[in-house]
Amino acid sequence: MNWLISFEGIDGSGKTTLVEGLRQNLANSIVTREPRGTKLGLEVWRLVNDKQTVSNIWTQFLLFLASHNEHVKTVIEPNLAQGKIVLVDRYLDSTFVYQGIYGNLGVKKLNDVLHNTVNSPFPHLTFILDIDPAQAQMRLHKRQEDSGEWNEWDALKLEIHQKIREGYLALKEYFPARKIYIINSQQEPKKILQEVLLIIRQQLGIFR
């Protein structure tokens, strides 16, 4: 059963925790992430976080496009071909929101570029973890204290995180034919896992 399921939301919304919980509960599933799911993606992530190297939004988008293509061709499509359920922590929608909406390049324009170049598969299901940006920032600060992990996206001002949140919520309007679920991620992680797992099992016809 080869399904591609993506998980989106602002930083600190709990995507990574949810995806790992799903991996443990869904047989024949694998977890990957964008853009850091390949060696190229790791290099791209390093470059776009260096404003002295990448200062233009189109350059940023094209770098992410290259890493996305590498990720699809070397990780996602091979695993789908083996009949696996691929759980991806961020995917095309992050590009639509961060570069298309927040970066003002336009969702339709970026979708046209993607369609006419790499033509990546859209997810069968997409879950957007929705959270108040103020609460998400509290989680990010705790993560920084615990692990030292921090990047320029984490450091964006609260009003920018709010704009990005609104961009994610607008995706259902941009892509009305897709199966996009908005999940309240201010709940307990266990409750979120149960809610998402139920939806996935219903969609895949797995009743157990």
Query: Per residue in 90-102, pLDDT tens?
Result: 999 999 999 999 9
| Separation between Cα atoms, residue 104 and residue 118, nearest integer Å | 21
Predicted pLDDT of residue 123: 97
What the block records as the tokens of 79 is 């695993």
- Residue 65 in any domain: the answer is yes
pLDDT under 50: residue ranges of the chain: 208
Predicted pLDDT of residue 148: 57
Q: Specify the DSSP class assigned to residue 11.
A: T
Supply the CATH number for residue 18's domain.
Answer: 3.40.50.300
Predicted pLDDT of residue 100: 96
* Structural domain for 42, as ranges: 3-201
Predicted pLDDT of residue 143: 62
Predicted pLDDT of residue 119: 87
Asked if residue 99 lies in contact with residue 59, where contact means CB atoms within 8 angstroms, the answer is no
Predicted pLDDT of residue 136: 81
- Residue 145 in any domain: the answer is yes
Predicted pLDDT of residue 153: 60
- E strands along the chain, which residues? 3-8, 29-33, 85-89, 125-130, 180-184
- Residue 206 in any domain: the answer is no
Torsion of CA 85, 86, 89, 95, to 10 degrees: -130
- Residue 166 in any domain: the answer is yes
Predicted pLDDT of residue 142: 67
- Residue 207 in any domain: the answer is no
End-to-end CA distance of the chain: give it in Å, rounded. Answer: 16
Helix (H) or strand (E) holding 130: strand 125-130
Helix (H) or strand (E) holding 89: strand 85-89
Count the domains in the chain.
Answer: 1
User: pLDDT tens digit string along 120-154?
Assistant: 999 999 999 999 988 887 777 666 655 656 556 65
What the block records as the tokens of 53 is 């190297």
- Residue 208 in any domain: the answer is no
Give me the residues paired with residue 126 across strands.
6, 180
- Residue 82 in any domain: the answer is yes
- Residue 94 in any domain: the answer is yes
